[in-house]
Each structure stands twice: as C-alpha cells, then as structure tokens.
C-alpha cells in the first residue's frame, strides 16, 4: 500500500471575506473552519497532515499549537502553495499526497474515504460536484465525456471550451508524488489572476498521459467552499442543522430545534434537554437529564447529570455538578466548579472558584479566586475583593459558614467552618471557626429637631 500524506491549503488571504482575520480562522459554530477540515483529515491520515500557511501565518499557527506547518511566503496561487509543501512530504517518506482547500468545513470522513476509494491508484484525481449555480468554482471541461481540464471561471472562454457545465471542481485532490513533482514546475501564471493554479495540473497530467480521474461526488453540500460572509452563514446553518438532527436521533430532547446552535464537537447524552435559542460550543459535555434552557451560551463546560441551567446564563470553562442549579442570569467563567446540588442564582458571577456540595450563592454576588465549603450560604450582594490593582488573592469560606448580605471579603482572607458574618461587613481579617464577625459602623439613632 502506498503511503499517503495530506496537505491543507490555508495560506490565502480570503479577500472576499472583507476581514483582517485569515479566512481559515473564520468561525463556524464557534470553531475556526480549519479545525473541522484538519479533524477529518487526521482521522484518515493521522499526524501526516500539513497546513500551508502564509497570510497572518502566526495567527493560524497559534490556533493549532500541535499542527505541522509549511510556510508560503507569497500567496502566488494554489499550485504554488502545493509546491511549497512538497519537500516536507517527500522528506517524510510518503508516496502520495492528498490536497484540500482549507475552506471546506463540512467535509466529512465518509466523503473523504469515498473519494480516496474512487480515486484508487490514479496518478492524479480530483473531486467533481454538480451545482445548480456553479458560481465562481472551477469548471470541469469534458469533450465527448472525456476529461480535458479544469478552467477557472475567470478564464473561461466559451468559444474555446463550449457551453459552461454545472460540473465543478470541489477543491480536493490526490497526486502520486513523482507526478506532482514533475507537473508542478510546468505550471505558469499566465491567466486572469496571475496565479499558479493547482487546477492546471489536470490538463498537464492528461498531456503527459498520466491516469487522471475526475471523481464524481454528486450534488453534496459537504464540499461547499466558503469565500464570502454569505457562504459562511450558509455552511454554518447546514452544519448546525446536521448536528441538531444527529442529536435528536440519538435521544436528546430539543425544544425549538431550529434555534439551537450546537457545534459538532459538543457531546450531549441522550435524555438531556435543550431549549432554543441557545448556543453550545467547544469541548462541552452535557450529561443525561441535564437541562439547558433558552438564551444560554455554554462553551467548554461539563454540565452534570440532572443539572439545570436556567435562561439567560453564560457559562465558559465551568464544571457544573450533578443536580446543581444555575441562573437565571448567572455567569460562570473559567475555573468555576459547582459541586453536587449547589446553587448559583441570578446576577451571580463565579470565576476560578469552587462551590462545595449544596453551597448556595443565590443573588447578586461575585465569587472570584475562592473556595466555598459544603453547605455554606453566601448572602445577596457578597463580593470577594480578590484584586488590589496588582495581584489576585484567594478567599476561603468554610463548610456551613453563613455570609450575611452585602459583605465585602477582602482577600486574602478566610472564614472558618460554621462561622457567621453579619450583613454589611467589610471583612479584612480571618474569621475563626464558629465565631461571629461583624465589621460595620454601629447604628446610631438620633432624635430629629421638630420643625
């Protein structure tokens, strides 16, 4: 079996997106579109996946710290991009190279494997799709059914190639390496864009009597390229609907499914319940019987069995334990960890803080860099003052402690188990276990002069 590697072309600027962000980093359901392409390729080619980067290369590299990269200093076209990647692939001992544009986030493993199987051992093969509107895609030119070339839309001359067909190039190829090495130096940039087109390798291959195959992949949406904001929106909607459909089939209960935006990276167990509109992305796990109500945003979280996330809550990088209750209107930031049956209520923000089993912070509170013991009660308006303008400090609250309303806990500070803090206190010293701390002005009642 010949050994195959993969190359993703991701160096382009993406002019038609009108954005400073490199096109392959534009997000589809919260993930850069390149992440989807790379994931599918890695499931087939393991770590033999190279990404060609150029425009804003550092940004792309930073998004994939474990990626393998090849640098294309000047974006002289897709053929030029491949020629920059070839030395790395050859040096690594591969015989064949699969190449795909970085802007096809809907590509699936099935489609990829199907293409590879149909391409067989051809010297050169590409995926062809049928589109009602062939748009700006490269046109597949055949003569009496015989493949002749791929001609870019801009360069299409009807007098020379005949009526434009609806069969277009999907932007996915496989080459035998010796053939690619032979053909690439023959590319020229004599075309409307002044670029070295990978697509010109088809006609060159035919000229050299190589076996060249245009693999028909039907009308599949999965190979749509993203070049404009409109195409990004369309592809995102397709991926969203596909993901929601799969979850419904697996036994997840979904209300208003048309407005549930959930990324395919998210894992939702059967029996969990989601209500739209909501947005769930990143490496999130939602366990059985958990509920995420409408108007919530959840990213990179674990929501435990039976936990309830009420409407208008925003959660990122948080762990919500079994049966815990969050919201409405709660904010959990990275490092928030809520143990079993704990409660975080409305207008409560939690960051890098642990809330022990059954502990409650039900109203208007900020808990940052803190640890709250099991069964503690945090009164309305409690603030951990964790920042002095230079450094962050920790607040430790013991088990079953009771913090009265409107308390400022000036960190570093600790409140012992079963201790009690009077409402309106500013606590700057540790409170020993079981004691009562009151730190506020004494009330004076003064008789008023009669008018």
Alpha-carbon gap, residue 289 to 306, rounded angstroms:
4
Residues 6+ apart with CB under 8 A from 273: 252, 253, 254, 255, 289, 290, 291, 292
Between 55 and 343, whose beta carbon lies closer to Ca ion? 55
From the list ligand UD1, Ca ion, none, which binds 326 (C-beta under 5 to 8 Å, kind-based)?
none
The residue among 106 and 290 lying less far from ligand UD1, judged by its C-beta, is 106
* Local structure of residue 186 (DSSP, 8 states): G
**Among 36, 86, 103, 254, interactor with Ca ion by CB under 5 A:** 103
Question: At its nearest, how many Å lie between ligand UD1 and the CB of residue 234?
Answer: 14
Residue 72 contact, options ligand UD1, Ca ion, none, Cβ 5-8 Å cut-off depending on partner type: ligand UD1
Q: Which does 81 bind (CB under 5 to 8 A by kind): ligand UD1, Ca ion, none?
A: ligand UD1
Please say whether the beta carbons of 313 and 325 come within 8 A.
no
Considering 80, 283, 343, 363, which one is annotated as catalytic? 363
Distance CA 332, CA 309 (A): 11
Q: Which residue is nearest to ligand UD1 (CB)?
A: 138
Q: Cβ closer to ligand UD1: 175 or 197? A: 197
- Residues lying near ligand UD1 in the complex (CB under 6 A) are found at 9-12, 24, 52, 72, 75-78, 80-81, 101-103, 136-138, 150, 152, 168-171, 197-199, 225, 227
Tell me the closest approach of the beta carbon of residue 206 to ligand UD1, in angstroms: 16
Report strand pairing: 96-101 vs 167-176: antiparallel
Q: Maximum CA pair distance of the chain?
A: 111
With CB cut-offs between 5 and 8 Å by kind, which of ligand UD1, Ca ion, none does residue 100 bind?
none
Q: What is the DSSP string of 51-118?
A: EEEBTBHHHHHHH-TT-EEEE-SS---HHHHHHHHHHHHHHTT-SEEEEEETT-TT--HHHHHHHHHH
- Within 130-189, which residues bind Ca ion (CB under 5 A)? none
CB nearer to ligand UD1: give 128 or 177. 128
Q: Is residue 14 involved in binding Ca ion (CB under 5 A)?
A: no
Given 67, 105, 205, 225, the residue binding Ca ion (CB under 5 A): 225
Q: How far apart are CA 219 and CA 130, in angstroms?
A: 5
- In the chain the first and final C-alpha atoms are separated, in Å, by 103
- Least distance from Ca ion to the Cβ atom of residue 26, Å: 12
> Locate tokens 């309303």: which residue?
405
CA 245 to chain centre: 19
Rounded to 5 degrees, what are φ and ψ at 90?
-65, -45
Only segment of 97-105, 141-149, 196-204, 299-307 that touches Ca ion (CB under 5 A): 97-105
Nearest approach in angstroms of CB 116 to ligand UD1 is 18
Nearer to Ca ion, 105 or 306 (CB): 105
Which of the listed partners (Ca ion, ligand UD1, none) does 411 bind, with a CB threshold of 5 to 8 Å by partner kind? none
Specify the residue, 23 or 240, whose C-beta has the smaller distance to ligand UD1.
23
Instruction: Using DSSP, state whether 300 is helix, strand or coil.
Output: coil
Q: Which stretch binds Ca ion (CB under 5 A): 55-63, 102-110, 262-270, 273-281?
A: 102-110
**# residues near Ca ion by CB under 5 A:** 3
Cβ 353 vs Cβ 333: under 8 Å: no
CB-based burial of residue 96 (10 Å sphere; 0-12 exposed, 13-18 middle, 19+ buried)? buried
Contact 77, 195 (CB under 8 A): yes
Q: How far is the CB of 84 from ligand UD1 (least distance, A)?
A: 8
Active-site residue, 363 included: yes
Only one of the segments 156-164, 194-202, 223-231, 355-363 lies at the binding site for Ca ion (rule: CB under 5 A); that segment is: 223-231
- The distance of closest approach from Cβ of residue 202 to ligand UD1 in the complex, given in angstroms and rounded to an integer, is 10
Interface segment toward Ca ion; rule CB under 5 A; list 103-111, 393-401, 421-429, 437-445: 103-111
Q: Which residues pair with 420 in a beta bridge?
A: 402, 436
Residue 396 Cα distances to 127, 320, 414, angstroms:
60, 20, 5
SS3 content of the chain, % helix, strand, coil (to 5): 25, 35, 45
Q: In terms of CB distance, is 102 or 304 closer to ligand UD1?
A: 102
Query: At closest approach, how far in Å is the CB of 1 from Ca ion?
Result: 31
Task: Choose one: 98-106, 158-166, 311-319, 332-340; the region binding Ca ion (CB under 5 A).
Answer: 98-106
Distance CA 236, CA 327 (A): 29
Which residues does residue 68 pair with via DSSP β-bridges, in sequence order?
50
Q: How far is the CB of 115 from Ca ion (least distance, A)?
A: 17
Cα–Cα distance, 269 to 280 (Å, whole number): 14
Give 236 or 287: the residue with its C-beta nearer to ligand UD1.
236
Active site residue ranges: 363
* Chain contacts with Ca ion (rule: CB under 5 A): 103, 225, 227
């Amino acid at each position: 079996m010949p050994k195959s590697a993969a190359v993703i072309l991701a160096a382009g600027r993406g002019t038609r997106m009108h954005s400073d962000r490199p096109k392959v980093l534009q997000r589809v359901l919260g993930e850069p579109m390149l992440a989807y392409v790379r994931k599918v390729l890695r499931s087939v080619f393991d770590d033999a996946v190279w990404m060609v980067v150029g425009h804003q290369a550092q940004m792309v590299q930073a998004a994939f710290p474990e990626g393998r990269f090849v640098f294309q200093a000047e974006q002289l076209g897709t053929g030029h991009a491949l020629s920059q990647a070839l030395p790395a692939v050859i040096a690594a001992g591969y015989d064949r190279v699969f190449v795909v544009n970085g802007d096809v986030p809907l590509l699936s493993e099935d489609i990829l494997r199907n293409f590879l199987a149909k391409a067989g051992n051809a010297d050169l093969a590409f995926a062809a799709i049928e589109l009602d509107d062939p748009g700006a895609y490269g046109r597949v030119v055949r003569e009496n059914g015989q493949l002749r070339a791929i001609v870019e839309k801009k360069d299409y001359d009807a007098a020379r190639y005949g009526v434009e067909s609806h069969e277009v190039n999907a932007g996915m190829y496989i080459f035998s390496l010796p053939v690619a090495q032979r053909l690439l130096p023959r590319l020229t940039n004599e075309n409307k864009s002044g670029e070295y087109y990978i697509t010109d390798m088809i006609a060159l291959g035919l000229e050299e009597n190589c076996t060249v195959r245009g693999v028909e992949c039907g009308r599949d949406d999965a190979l749509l390229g993203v070049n404009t904001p409109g195409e990004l929106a369309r592809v995102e909607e397709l991926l969203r609907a596909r993901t929601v459909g799969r979850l419904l089939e697996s036994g997840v209960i979904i209300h208003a499914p048309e407005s549930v935006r959930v990324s395919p990276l998210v894992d939702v167990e059967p029996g969990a319940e989601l209500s739209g509109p909501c947005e769930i992305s990143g490496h999130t796990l939602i366990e059985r019987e958990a509920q995420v109500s409408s108007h919530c945003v959840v990213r990179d979280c674990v929501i435990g069995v039976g936990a309830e996330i009420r409407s208008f809550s925003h959660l990122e990088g948080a762990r919500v334990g079994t049966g815990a209750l969050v919201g409405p209107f709660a904010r959990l930031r990275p490092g928030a960890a809520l143990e079993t049956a704990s409660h975080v209520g409305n207008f409560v923000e939690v960051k890098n803080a642990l809330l022990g089993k059954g502990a409650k912070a039900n109203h208007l509170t900020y808990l940052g860099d803190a640890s709250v013991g099991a069964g503690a009660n945090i009164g309305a308006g409690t603030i951990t003052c964790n920042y002095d303008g230079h450094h962050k400090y920790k607040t430790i609250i013991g088990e079953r402690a009771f913090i009265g309303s409107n308390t400022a806990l000036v960190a570093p500070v600790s409140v012992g188990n079963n201790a009690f803090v009077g409402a309106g206190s500013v606590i700057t010293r540790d409170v020993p276990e079981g004691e009562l701390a009151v730190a506020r002005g004494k009330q004076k009642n003064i008789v008023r002069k009669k008018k």
